[in-house]
Amino acid sequence: MALAPRHRSLPAPGWTAPVSSGRALDPAHHVGTGKPLRLPAAAGEGKAAAPAAMSIPIAKSFYDLSATSLQGERVDFNVFRGRVVLIENVLNQLQARYPRRLVVLGFPCNQFGFQENSTNEEILSILKHVRPGGGFEPNFTLFQKCQVNGADTHPVFAYLKLHLPAPADEAVTLMSEPRFLAWSPIRRSDISWNFEKFLVGPEGEPFRRYSPRTPPNRFLAPQAVMGSPRG
């Protein structure tokens, strides 16, 4: 399944290059040769973690959440009832393939290598005219830049990390290069890099979290979650 042309927030080629085992390199392995930073698995892994000791509001339900689009419009997540929701950075072709069943929500973030240093006002223009250019317009909802880790974590990600404290495909490694941990406080449930993905079921239940190494076409195929794509 094809993904959208590369956006400036995407890691450079090789950051998730496949290796012989069929797995992909950790996004931070492109710099340095340090061993991966490994932290103990969260207590009760696979269950909702205890609320973080920070003043971040935690919604009671996915449908209680909201966010502001790049156009400045408030989007209440209640409108996504009955739809499967995929939350990541920038995806395009998936939305085209599953238009009635899948909602893609993009949240630009500048916490990982400062790769998304454009302003909210610049992001759509850059997508349209520079990267990828050619009049490109995302056919999914793209929200304003936000923090996904640390004291200013956006409520959407505070909620998702509470219910899905670690990626299903990588529950131990947080990041290979500790110097990229540029937020505080640091928690095991933190997002490790761009392209972590959260899949929410049609009844608003956080279903599964995936690391950057797993492309969406590997987990959107199960019929129990998605059904058959149109066409």
Distance CA 101, CA 83 (A): 5
**Residue 134: predicted pLDDT:** 78
Q: What is the pLDDT of residues 25-37, one digit of tens each?
A: 333 333 333 444 4
Instruction: Judge whether 134 lies within some domain.
Output: yes
Instruction: Judge whether 38 lies within some domain.
Output: no
Looking at the structure of the chain, the number of domains it has is 1
Distance CA 63, CA 81 (A): 7
Instruction: Judge whether 18 lies within some domain.
Output: no
The residue ranges of the chain whose pLDDT is under 50 are 1-46, 49-52, 222-224, 228, 231
| Residues forming a β-bridge with 209 | 198
Q: What is the CA radius of gyration of the chain?
A: 17
Q: What is the pLDDT of residues 197-221, one digit of tens each?
A: 999 999 999 999 999 888 887 887 6
Assign residue 85 the CATH number of its domain: 3.40.30.10
CB-side exposure of 56: number of CA atoms within 13 Å?
24
Q: What is the pTM of this model?
A: 0.70
Distance CA 33, CA 10 (A): 22
Range of 59's domain? 47-226
Instruction: Judge whether 10 lies within some domain.
Output: no
Instruction: Judge whether 215 lies within some domain.
Output: yes
Instruction: Judge whether 25 lies within some domain.
Output: no
At 29 the three-state DSSP class reads coil
Residue identified by tokens 């995806």 is 91
